[in-house]
């Protein structure tokens, strides 16, 4: 008899958390960034890099996103433009995605182990206006002669 609830979950695909429910904003048009900052969490940690211990509070994250979004907007990046992110998983990767979204642009992500030819295919398919990358991967994207951020 104990297996019956487990089997029912497998059959229906519906799982319920053991944690208490949370209240979500009722606005169905709420974007992810606004949702993240919907509640003022101030100096609570928003992101923590497990390998380095580096962290960002919600307050710091919000300020960083707004400043960087203003920066790429000044570069001419806006609604409907595509920004390519070529980087390993890190806090900066998450921040970059949120920055692009705040600017109204579209994110296309590239696996950092792609070859230059594979990146070229994605550049051709997505037609990005800007590439966000890390210093270690600049050689994979410099030949596309697109603006790099950070430059």
Residue 14 lies in a domain: no
Note whether 133 and 85 are within 8 A (CB). Answer: yes
Q: Which domain holds residue 62?
A: 31-149
Number of independent structural domains in the chain: 1
Chain centroid to CA 42: 20
Residue 119 lies in a domain: yes
Chain centroid to CA 46: 13
Q: Tokens for 145?
A: 């002669």
Main-chain dihedrals φ then ψ at residue 117, nearest 5 degrees? -65, -40
Residue 73 lies in a domain: yes
Residue 123 lies in a domain: yes
pLDDT score, position 1:
45
pLDDT score, position 9:
52
pLDDT score, position 118:
97
pLDDT tens across the length of the chain (151 residues): 454 555 555 566 677 788 888 777 677 777 888 878 877 888 999 999 988 999 999 999 999 999 999 999 999 999 999 999 999 999 999 999 999 999 999 999 999 999 999 999 999 999 999 999 999 999 999 999 998 876 5
CATH number of the structural domain spanning residue 35:
3.40.50.980
């Amino acid at each position: 008899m104990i297996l019956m609830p487990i089997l029912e979950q497998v059959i229906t695909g519906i799982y319920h958390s053991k944690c208490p429910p949370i209240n979500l904003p009722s606005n169905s048009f709420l974007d992810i960034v606004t949702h993240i900052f919907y509640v003022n969490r101030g100096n609570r940690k928003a992101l923590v890099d497990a390998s380095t211990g580096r962290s960002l509070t919600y307050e710091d994250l919000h300020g960083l996103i707004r400043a960087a979004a203003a920066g790429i907007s000044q570069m001419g990046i806006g609604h409907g433009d595509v920004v390519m992110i070529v980087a390993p998983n890190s806090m900066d990767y998450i921040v970059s995605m949120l920055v692009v979204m705040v600017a109204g642009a579209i994110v296309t992500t590239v696996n950092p182990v792609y070859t230059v030819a594979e990146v070229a295919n994605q550049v051709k398919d997505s037609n990005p206006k800007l590439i966000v990358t890390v210093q270690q991967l600049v050689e994979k994207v410099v030949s596309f002669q697109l603006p790099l951020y950070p430059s």
